[in-house]
Chains A and B, each alone.
Chain A
Amino acid sequence: MEKMLIVDYEKCTGCRLCELVCSVFHTGASNPSRSRIRVIKWENVGFYLPMTCQNCETSFCTEVCPTKACHKDPENGRVVIDQDKCIGCKTCIIACPFGHPFFDIKERVTKKCDYCDGDPQCVSFCDMKAVDYVDADKVQMAKKREVANKFVDLMKQVR
């Protein structure tokens, strides 16, 4: 079964532990600027939103990548960056509307979330379960669709 990360901003406390464990797991350095997950914060209103790669269906990053290093995995539809092909041109970073791929200052290539090969560290360390790794089954998909429809309605009303 395919799995995916689900983010619930209402549970997030903005502790940024996920950033820390992510960078420790991937790079060995406790440097949140090299992590693959970022918490966007609005301190003045207390909103915290952990953001990871959305694995978009029509992804801008794969479109603009000049080397095909950033491509879709044909098996599970996830976006993958080939570290041997990436030239570090940062075009995908600029193209992504979610601000996701990150330029690794040490390795000089672009990095993105790879679900830690099936065991996401951010999920196992998040006490609030604001980030969760769940099956992308029908229930989840229905929930997602419902949220999306609700969002569309909301947008229509606001406009």
Chain B
Amino acid sequence: MRTEHIHPIRNGRHVRPQEEWKEIIAIYLYLAGMGAGSYIIGTLIHWLGVTLNPPSAPSITLFGYLLDLTKVPIFWGPIMVSIGAPFLILDLGIKRRFMYACLNPRTSWVARGFLILSTFIVFGLVLLIKSVLPFEWLYAESALWHIPEVIAFVFACGTAIYTGILLKATKSIPLWNTNLLPLLFLVSALSTGSMAIILSTLGTGLFSHDSGALKALMSGEQTLVVIEGIVLYLYLYWSYRATEQGKDSVRLLLFGEKKLIFWGGIVLLGFIFPVILKNIASFFHGNVVLIFVSGLTLLCGGFFLRLGVLSAGMKEQTPMQRLIEIQYDMRAMKMKGLRERVVDEHGTRTTHKDTRINDKAQMSNDKLLITNTE
């Protein structure tokens, strides 16, 4: 009885994504990316000198000082990042040792990220506090303040890209080890960040819903969402084409166990809902509630993007596994060749290809020792 040869190893292979980094890391990546992105957008608004709505800006009195909260809705990014960073500590095995994590910045991206994030948090929080305090000796209008602003801006960009590089640095997971991942996370950080800025400025009345600045921000945001979609497509396409494990990862994300995260979380919440709701909102003359709902779904989509990429990461095969797979292949081909030779005696034709395969199988049947070094 002749049946088609099914590859039992490849077909029977249990598709198992990594389980070391889970939701906690996704929350951290999301908060760090979103906070940094919103800080980038907020600083750009600040530098461009867009007129804010000071009369509606809230202010509170603390210890007899009048705190000016005008700039808080565009400068709150560092707070988000400093909420996100403890999640990374939460994931550690021994949490009280988290300060050790900066000891090896020469080769390790985790250590570099520790330094980038803490620099950004320090400079960002200093600038946020400076924008709130009313003291005259701070010389809030002084040009010298541009220096920490530029530093914070650069480190905000660094934080947004770093979230991708952290994953890119693991060379054994093909889904993560591409240059498109930092780009994807940067674009996603900018789009979620600018949406968060839109929500916070709209919510505090800093921009009214028909002001020119908000409209510019909205159109920029829509462009970013479109770019994010294109980058996501390219990213999945390249990962699918790159290696077998990349293919498995993309399949797992698109059609496998994680399809709810991808289609429900990323596509529906991150792309389709916001676009539809924003279009409806434009018909209803800037309905604020609709804009808020679309913004919140987009922010959720940003989180699910990180979660999806994290949870679909799959390790490349070890060389030994690959060797065994190949050897099994050879053995199967040899059996097939033998079978065809038997058939040949009964008058059917054998191809040259089969004999060549037999030679290869002979070679691989020599005993191969697997030793314990590379």
Q: Is B347 an interface residue (CB 8 A)?
A: no
Q: Which one of B271-279, B294-302, B318-326 is at the A interface?
A: B318-326
Residues of B within 8 A of A89 (CB): 91-93, 101, 110
Q: How far is the CB of B178 from chain A (nearest CB, A)?
A: 16
Q: What separation, in Å, do the CA atoms of A45 and B364 have in the docked complex?
A: 17
For the complex formed, measure the closest distance between the CB of B246 and the CB atoms of chain A, giving whole angstroms: 14
Instruction: Confirm or deny: A4 has a beta carbon within 8 angstroms of a beta carbon on chain B.
Output: yes
- Whether A24 sits at the interface, judged by CB under 8 Å, is no
- Does the CB pair A93–B20 fall under 8 Å? yes
Give bound CA distance, A72 to B315, whole Å. 23
0/1 interface trace, chain B 312-338, chain A, CB 8 Å (1 if under): 010110111101101011000000000
Please, which residues of chain A bring their CB within 8 A of the CB of B104? 65-68
B315 to A68, Cβ gap below 8 A? no
Which of A13-21, A26-34, A149-157 contacts the other chain?
A149-157
Asked if B374 lies at the interface with its beta carbon under 8 angstroms from chain A, I say: yes
Residue of A with least CB distance to B107: A63
CA distance A67 to B114 in the complex (A): 11
The contact of B108 among A55, A65, A88, A109, by CB within 8 Å, is A65
- Of B54-62, B193-201, B203-211, B365-373, the one contacting chain A is B365-373
Q: Tell me which residues from 1 to 15 in chain B have a Cβ below 8 Å from any Cβ of chain A.
A: 8-9, 12
Q: A62 — which chain B residues lie within 8 A by C-beta? A: 107
Closest CB in chain B relative to A135 CB, distance in Å: 12
Q: Which residue of A is nearest B370, CB measured?
A: A7
Number of cross-chain contacts by CB at 8 Å: 166
Residues A130-155 near B (CB distance < 8 A): 140, 143-144, 147, 150-151, 153-155
Q: Are B108 and A57 touching (Cβ within 8 A)?
A: no
- Chain B residues, CB < 8 A from A51: 318, 320
Cα A110 to Cα B12 in complex, Å, equals: 30
Instruction: Report chain A residues within 8 Å CB of B367.
Output: 10
B326, chain A: closest CB distance, angstroms: 6
Knowing A49-B321, A54-B372 are in contact, say whether A94-B93 is a contact too (CB < 8 A).
Answer: no
- Closest residue on chain B to residue A63 by CB atoms: B107
Is B151 an interface residue when CB atoms closer than 8 A count as contact?
Answer: no
Q: Is the CB of B108 within 8 A of A63?
A: yes
Contact in complex: A6, B369 (CB < 8 Å): yes
- Kindly identify which residue among B102, B169, B315 contacts A64, using a CB–CB cutoff of 8 Å: B169
Q: Is B103 in the interface zone, CB < 8 Å from A?
A: yes
**B8, B12, B103, B369: residue with the most chain A Cβ atoms closer than 10 Å:** B369
Give chain B's interface residues, CB within 8 Å of chain A.
8-9, 12, 18, 20-21, 91-94, 97-98, 100-104, 107-111, 114, 169-173, 313, 315-316, 318-321, 323-324, 326, 328-329, 360, 363-364, 366-374
Question: Are B20 and A94 in contact, CB atoms less than 8 angstroms apart?
Answer: yes
A-side contacts of B372, CB under 8 Å: 4-7, 52-55
Asked if B369 and A8 make an inter-chain contact with CB atoms under 8 angstroms apart, the answer reads: yes
Q: How far is the CB of A43 from chain B (nearest CB, A)?
A: 8
Distance between B284 CB and nearest chain A CB, rounded to angstroms: 47
Chain A residues 105 to 147 lying within 8 A of chain B, measured CB to CB, are 107-110, 140, 143-144, 147
CB-CB under 8 A for A67 and B103, given A94-B20, A96-B172, A154-B326 = yes
Which one of B9, B100, B101 contacts A45 once the chains associate, using CB atoms below 8 Å? B9
Residues of chain B contacted by A10 (CB below 8 angstroms): 367
A97-B172, A97-B315 given as contacts; is B373 within 8 A of A86 (CB)? no
B100 and A85 contact, CB distance less than 8 A: yes
- A60-B172, A89-B91, A94-B21 as given contacts; A99 in contact with B315, CB under 8 Å: yes
B371 touches A4 (CB 8 A): yes
B103 / chain A contacts, CB cutoff of 8 Å: 66-68, 85
Bound-state CA distance A44–B12 (Å) is 8
A102 to nearest B CB, angstroms? 10
Report the separation of the CA atoms of residues A142 and B373 in the bound assembly, to the nearest whole angstrom: 12
Instruction: Tell me if B108 and A154 are in contact (CB < 8 A).
Output: no
Assuming A45-B328, A64-B170, is B93 touching A54 (CB within 8 A)? no
A64 — which chain B residues lie within 8 A by C-beta?
107-110, 169-170
Q: Assess whether B92 is in contact with A87, with CB atoms less than 8 Å apart.
A: yes
CA distance A86 to B319 in the complex (A): 28
In the complex where A67-B103, A147-B371 touch, is A158 in contact with B324 (Cβ < 8 A)? Answer: no
Given the known A-B contacts A86-B93, A150-B368, are A42 and B100 also in contact in the complex, defined by CB atoms under 8 Å? no
Closest-CB distance, A18 to chain B (whole angstroms): 14
Question: Can you name 24 A-B residue pairings with CB atoms under 8 Å?
Answer: A4-B373, A6-B372, A44-B12, A47-B324, A52-B372, A57-B373, A66-B103, A66-B104, A66-B111, A67-B111, A69-B100, A86-B94, A89-B93, A89-B110, A91-B110, A91-B170, A95-B172, A107-B93, A108-B93, A144-B371, A147-B369, A150-B366, A153-B363, A154-B360
